[in-house]
Amino acid sequence: MGQGLWRVARNQQLQQEGYGEQGYLSREQSRRMAASSVSSTSHRKQVQGGIDIYHLLKTRKSKEQEGFINLEMLPPELSFTILSYLNATDLCLASCVWQDLANDELLWQGLCKSTWGHCSIYNKNPPLGFSFRKLYMQLDEGSLTFNASPDEGVNYLMSKGILDDSPKEIAKFIFCTRTLNWKKLRIYLDERRDVLDDLVTLHNFRNQFLPNALREFFRHIHAPEERGEYLETLITKFSHRFCACNPDLMRELGLSPDGVYVLCYSLILLSIDLTSPHVKNKMSKREFIRNTRRAAQNISEDFVGHLYDNIYLIGHVAA
């Protein structure tokens, strides 16, 4: 009741001052029309002077028009830069909206080479009807097939002309991709020792500390879960490669491939000892130096101590 009387009194006051409801609304409408006219005028000036990219990205006219910017309105260089951050799935979805932009060969070429760094087909003249988008789908299919059956995956890539039937080419393909299942890859390399030999030679251990080089090696060629002939083969190949990459260091330390082999085995055993929760009494630095120098007498005590510190601070060499 009190609110109703207040509204009546307020309306009478507004009418006396010349601000009736109709007048008030008309004045409010005139203000809005003036503001819209100024906005449209500034917009026309902006269109005449060229498209402002910052304005396109930051300004939205109304809530009803909110959404993603149309990439076709941007310069091609900027549009391709934006799309280059997408993965293959999102790029396929983007092609439903911006077909010409998202199907660009440079975008799919970048996706192929960033995921599979080496393929034999990269260095050949592309066949008729070739497209990097189609190549990406075939590489993805070949990788999935490899993760189920390594031999079938490699044969699939060869049948499509993507990979040459050469141990060196297969080794380069394995070395430059991370989409292959490491357990299946370990089985494949154990069976294909010719590919394993070429894969080892692709590593460059020059000027690397021995434990760090061993970690890098086992990142590409995963160590078996149990000791056996395959692990011995891996350590032997690594030892020869490490010596070949660091001939001056080997002469300075007085080490041969057999000496590096002993040190690698000591590092693996130390890694297990320090990181395993089942080992209660951890090996001390003094014990490691004493045991290692018994097997490799030419090595200095300081060098062996640095090996221990590396494992203690960084962790397992074959994790």
Q: How confident is the model at residue 7 (pLDDT cuts 50, 70, 90)?
A: low
pLDDT greater than 80 at residue 181: yes
Q: Rounded CA gap, 296 and 291, in Å?
A: 9
DSSP letter for each residue of 19-86: --HHHHHHHHHHHHHHHHHHHHHHHHHHHHH---HHHHHH--S-GGG-S---GGGS-HHHHHHHHTTS
Residue 160 lies in a domain: no
Which residues have C-beta within 8 Å of that of residue 291, sequence separation ≥ 6? 266
Q: DSSP letter at 162?
A: S
Mean pLDDT score, 164-168: 96
Phi-psi sector, 129: left (phi>0), alpha (psi -120 to 50), beta:
left
Q: How confident is the model at residue 299 (pLDDT cuts 50, 70, 90)?
A: confident
Residue 22 lies in a domain: no
Active site residue 216: no
Q: Rounded CA gap, 105 and 86, in Å?
A: 14
Q: Rounded CA gap, 5 and 9, in Å?
A: 6
Residue 275 lies in a domain: yes
Mean pLDDT score, 169-189: 94
Tens digits of residue pLDDT in 55-97:
555 554 444 455 566 766 777 777 767 777 777 777 777 777 7
Residue 311 lies in a domain: yes
Q: How confident is the model at residue 129 (pLDDT cuts 50, 70, 90)?
A: confident
SS3 (DSSP) at 208? coil
Tens digits of residue pLDDT in 199-235:
999 999 999 999 999 999 999 899 888 778 999 999 9
Q: Rounded CA gap, 9 and 275, in Å?
A: 85
pLDDT greater than 70 at residue 51: no
pLDDT greater than 50 at residue 24: no
Q: Which stretches within the chain are classed as H helix?
A: 2-16, 21-49, 53-58, 76-83, 88-95, 99-102, 105-115, 132-148, 150-159, 167-175, 182-191, 193-201, 210-220, 229-245, 247-253, 257-275, 285-295, 301-314
Note the pTM of the prediction, 2 decimals.
0.71
pLDDT at 19: 44
Q: Residue 310's closest CA among 212, 170, 195?
A: 212
Contact indicator for 307, 269 with CB cutoff of 8 Å: no
Residue 228 lies in a domain: yes
Strand partners, 177: 116
Point out the catalytic residue in the list 66, 226, 229, 252.
226
Residue 99 lies in a domain: no
Q: How confident is the model at residue 174 (pLDDT cuts 50, 70, 90)?
A: very high
Other CB atoms closer than 10 Å to residue 193's CB: what's the count?
12
- Sign, CA dihedral 186-188-192-196, equals negative
Highest mean pLDDT among 80-84, 166-170, 177-181, 226-230: 166-170
CA atoms in the 13 A half-sphere facing the CB of 14: 13
Contact indicator for 296, 263 with CB cutoff of 8 Å: yes
Q: Rounded CA gap, 120 and 162, in Å?
A: 6
CATH of residue 305: 1.10.1000.11
Q: Rounded CA gap, 99 and 96, in Å?
A: 6
Residue 295 lies in a domain: yes
Angle at 179 between CA 175 and CA 184, to 5 degrees: 80
pLDDT at 44: 45
Residue 141 lies in a domain: no
Domain containing residue 250: 203-318
Other CB atoms closer than 10 Å to residue 167's CB: what's the count?
16
Structural domain total, the chain:
1
